[in-house]
Amino acid sequence: MTSTFTPPPLLVFDLDGTVADTAVDLVATLNAILTREGLAAIPFKDAVGMVGSGAKALLQRGLKANDVTVDEKRLDELFTDYLAHYEAHIADDSTLYPGVTKALDRFEAAGWTFAICTNKVESSARLLLTALGVAQRFKAICGKDTFDVSKPDGDALLQTIAKAGGDPRRAIMVGDSRTDIDTAKNAKVPVVAVTFGYTDLPVETFEPDRIVKSFDELFDAVEELSAVFHVA
């Protein structure tokens, strides 16, 4: 008699603006590069809206705000410098959002496992999560360069789920932006959006399956989705 293994349900989190508040360090690094290049720093209130699609996109947006365009070779050079500076200051001001650890504990007790799917490069994601003391809690930490595709391509999420030993039919995405919501929809995976992250428009604009205002609300939202989509 053979038995069929059923993987545990899996929560896949975005990182910046979802698990961790990283905008201060991301923007500080952007401005360090811009000022080194003789360009104007971007005020935080303006720059925070540029965060969310990865460091290279952030650099491009910072350059554009200065009416500067560079070729791909120069952009790659600046990106290398950006990563070196950022990883040296990975958690100067970055912190987990309130309630993250408590929420992970509650989900873990209920049999859930966890993964990260971010547009941060994988090395930076691992370094940050290690600095914040939670890297070991994730079965997979996948970044923009982990696969040959990245968010919002749904395959980035599907490959993350596979790397974590999960099943797309038993997975839920948690993110803060249109990129995350589109990624989940493209992968046909339910998605919960948080309201406290980095988005230029309110997350309800992008029609996630559920919206939460804090990590304290996440368990109930996931339970509701699990019942609707027969996840857990």
| Cβ atoms within 10 Å of 32's Cβ, excluding its own | 16
* pLDDT exceeds 70 at position 34: yes
| Cβ atoms within 10 Å of 219's Cβ, excluding its own | 16
Q: Per residue in 186-216, pLDDT tens?
A: 999 999 999 999 988 999 999 999 999 999 9
Specify whether 220 is catalytic: no
CA angle at 231 for the pair 229 and 232, rounded to the nearest 5°:
140
- Contact residues for 4 (Cβ-Cβ < 8 A; gap 6+): none
Q: Per residue in 129-162, pLDDT tens?
A: 999 999 999 999 999 999 999 999 999 999 999 9
- The H-or-E segment that residue 168 falls in is none
Q: What are phi and psi of 54, to 5 degrees?
A: 105, 160
Catalytic residue among 14, 21, 25, 209: 14
DSSP state of 138: -
Task: Annotate 97-108 with three-state secondary structure.
Answer: CCCHHHHHHHHH
Residues 174-195 have a mean pLDDT of: 97
Name the burial class of residue 74, with classes exposed (0-12), middle (13-18) and buried (19+) by CB atoms within 10 angstroms of its CB. exposed
* pLDDT exceeds 90 at position 172: yes
Q: Per residue in 98-112, pLDDT tens?
A: 999 999 999 999 999
| Confidence (pLDDT) at 75 | 95
Query: Model's pTM, two decimal places?
Result: 0.94
Residue whose pair of structure tokens reads 């997350």 in the numeric block: 203
CB-based contact 56:79 (threshold 8 Å): yes
Query: Distance from CA of residue 18 to its chain's centroid?
Result: 6
Nearest one of 219, 180, 171 to 198, comparing CA atoms: 180
The CATH class of 23-88 is mainly alpha
* pLDDT exceeds 90 at position 179: yes
Query: Read out DSSP for 60-129?
Result: HHHHHHTT----HHHHHHHHHHHHHHHHHTTTSS-EEPTTHHHHHHHHHHTT-EEEEE-SS-HHHHHHHH
Task: Give the span between the Cα atoms of 26 and 38, in whole angstroms.
Answer: 19
Percentage above 90 pLDDT, the chain? 90
Task: Give the span between the Cα atoms of 182 and 83, in whole angstroms.
Answer: 26
**Interaxial angle between packed helices 23-36 and 55-65, expressed in degrees from 0 to 180 and rounded to the nearest 10:** 50
Q: Does domain 10-22+95-229 correspond to CATH entry 3.30.470.10?
A: no
Which of the residue ranges 5-9, 13-17, 155-159, 173-177 would you say has the lowest mean pLDDT? 5-9
CA angle at 16 for the pair 198 and 98, rounded to the nearest 5°:
90
- Extents of the domains making up the chain: 10-22+95-229, 23-88
Mean pLDDT of the chain: 95
Structure tokens given for 134: 């939670």
